[in-house]
Structure 1
Amino acid sequence: MEKMKVSEYRKIAKERLRGQWGLNAGIIFLSSLLTMAVNRVTGVVNSGSVQTIMSFVISIFVLFAFSYALYYVGLFVTRGGRADIAQLFVVFQGKYYIPLLVINVIASIIQYVIGFAIFIPLLLQGGLGFYISLVLGTGAVDSSMVNRFASAGFVLLFLITVILYAIISSIVAGLFRFATYLKFDYPELSPTDCIKKAWDLIKDRWGKYILLQLSFIGWYILGILLLVFPVLWAVAYANVADAAFYDQALQEKIDVKGTI
């Protein structure tokens, strides 16, 4: 089977979204509203530490469901369906919730570890010295410390670190997005099997997957310039295109091996 181009995934997304752009953007907006509403629960706690813990727990156990539901919507639309608001709650179904929660926890742990590992050089270069000067010093930041942060070397290291993190984070996010798609398609698979099979699907497609993500940057920038709300249409566009990317990868794997 001939490999598809990035532009073809976007074309599929446009075709599938015809007649329901607003509906998909509205579902994404509603997902954001639900996320904000649930987050308000932590606002009633006065203790900062308790509030932080509650926010973390709610994010891990509740809010992920709305994000993963958008993956379901994108996949459903890619395959010719019409999005439905009720699909925002699909992850809370018994056959999905616990396995997808496990996938989310694993994804979160990996993202935290990768973030920490990547930013260590940056911390050692500037942040750690800044912290020590405040804790062990007089509490003032001398001119040498300011010059260190303003130096070309530190700025370059910062930019390289951010770009590296963005690339690796995108790859990890793609892997677990595929794992989520697989769980929706094959509820009988365990979380670890979903992750393993997701890796098998995406391991030879990293470059094209990253290019697909980069192809939407212009849409996001345009949406922000047009007073934010158009970003919802860009997110809907990218969501369906990502699902089309997965769907094609899955079909290619089935055509070659006869199974996933």
Structure 2
Amino acid sequence: MEEKTILSNSQIKSKAKEALKGNWGTAVIAFIIFNIVMYSVTYVYNINQISNYIHDPYLVRENAGFGASGIIFFIKLLLAGPMTYGITKFSMNLVRDKSHKIENIFEGFKHFSGTFIMNIVLGIYSFLWSLLLFIPFFVIVFVMVIREFSKTNMDLYSKGNDFSGWVIAIFILLIIVLTVALSMILFRYAMTYYIYIDNPDMGAMEAIKESVSMMKGNKTRLLLLYLSFILWYLLGIVTVGIAFLWITPYIKSTEAVFYDELKKSNDHNAHEAISTL
């Protein structure tokens, strides 16, 4: 039986960089346009609020409410699914050495209903999993804080400074653990858009289920792949976000190569299973 060679994470990253050679300009422009479309409404609103505050801070306070925020949220909700589809399609075409054009990022609007539903469902799943993990966390933190402030004995309170340090340390540790745990859970949905792009006749829920199946046994590997970009994220922060113009296409292209490797592995395993029948 022929075995399928699986690329390591470093090889996957190398393959992504190879695909980006000679295509950095197009990739950077595509991601800039993606961010402009997704976040320009928020930027304009914030700038307008700052300008109004400078001229009349009392007027801004009186007019502040959920109206504008609700409109912005609704617009981003309409755009998120199709635009995520589009930038994913662009990255897939890039690493597959297919025709990759900036117009690819708008192709999701041809599949608006499917991508919209997909985004809504994934958002609901993310919200519910977050609640499930973080509600017990906040209960624990609340109890610890109440216990700390309920100390009335001054001697005990003075010794409690060390305990306060432990509370902070435990708080940070729990945040890290819960963030990793939530990421591992949500990684099951990470390949949804890729699967939907390869199977345009597939329904949104079916694509999500297929992603869950594909990511079985691969979530830790994806986590390690993302963690390998930590230094790149730090570089982006140090450069006040400028480096992210190149880092983001690199990460997305790497994710696309990761998907292709999983797909090839699954197709190979399915072929081998049929061959043994």
Instruction: Give the TM-score, by structure 1 length.
Output: 0.82
Question: Contact 1:171–1:206 at 8 Å: present in 2 too?
Answer: yes
Q: Which runs of no fewer than 5 residues in structure 2 stay unpaired? A: 50-62, 147-156
Post-superposition shift, 1:203?
A: 0.9
How far did residue 63 of structure 1 move? 3.2
How far, CA to CA, are the matches of 1:157 and 1:191 in structure 2? 40
1:183 Cα deviation from its structure 2 partner: 0.7
Which one of the candidate residues 80, 91, 111 is aligned to 1:63?
80
Deviation at 1:230, TM superposition (A): 1.2
Q: How many residues align?
A: 242
- C-alpha distance in 2 between matches for 1:83 and 1:165: 38
Q: 1:180 to 1:38 in 2, by over 3 A?
A: same
Match of 2:213 in 1: 200
Within 1, Cα distance between the matches of 2:184 and 2:201? Answer: 25
Aligned Cα RMSD in Å?
2.7
> Quick one: structure 1 residues 26 and 166, their matched pair in 2 at CA, closer, same or farther if it must change by over 3 Å?
farther
| 1:77 to 1:169, Cα distance in 2 relative to 1, 3 A | farther
Contact 1:201 1:253 in 2 (8 A): yes
Contact 2:85-2:108 at 8 Å conserved across structures: yes
Q: Does 1:160 align with 2:163?
A: no
Q: Which residue of 1 aligns with 2:92?
A: 75
Please list, as runs of the form range in 1=range in 2, the aligned pairs for 1:104-115 lying within 5 A after superposition: 104-115=119-130
Residue equivalent to 2:257: 244
Distance 1:69 1:154 in 2: 44
1:51 maps to 2:54:
no
**Structure 1 residue ranges without an equivalent (≥5):** 132-143
Cα distance change on mapping 1:106 and 1:161 into 2, 3 Å = farther
Within the candidate set 35, 38, 41, 1:35 is matched to 38
SS in 1 for 2:191: helix
Distance (Å, rounded) in 1 between the aligned partners of 2:181 and 2:166: 22
CA contact (8 A) 2:86 2:108 kept: yes
Tell me the distance in 2 between the aligned counterparts of 1:172 and 1:27: 29
Contact residue 71 and residue 177 of structure 1 kept, 8 A: no
Structure 1 distance, partners of 2:69, 2:177, is 28
C-alpha deviation, 1:221, in angstroms: 0.9
Q: Is the 8 A contact 2:85 2:197 kept in 1?
A: no
**Offset of 1:100 from its aligned partner?**
1.6
Deviation at 1:251, TM superposition (A): 1.1
Amino acid at match of 2:115: L
The sequence identity of aligned pairs, in percent, is 21
Tell me the residue number matched to 2:58. Answer: none
Residue 14 of structure 1 and its aligned partner are, at CA, apart by 0.7
Return the match for 2:103 from 62, 86, 92.
Answer: 86
Output the CA distance in 1 between the equivalents of 2:96 and 2:202: 21
Q: Deviations over 1:24-66 (max 9, x none)?
A: 1221122112222233576689451223322332222223432
Distance 1:188 1:82, change over 3 A: closer
The letter for the 1-side match of 2:210 is K
**Residues 80, 119 of structure 2: 8 Å contact kept:** no
| Between 161-170 and 36-45, the greater mean CA deviation after superposition | 36-45
What is the deviation of 1:68?
A: 3.2
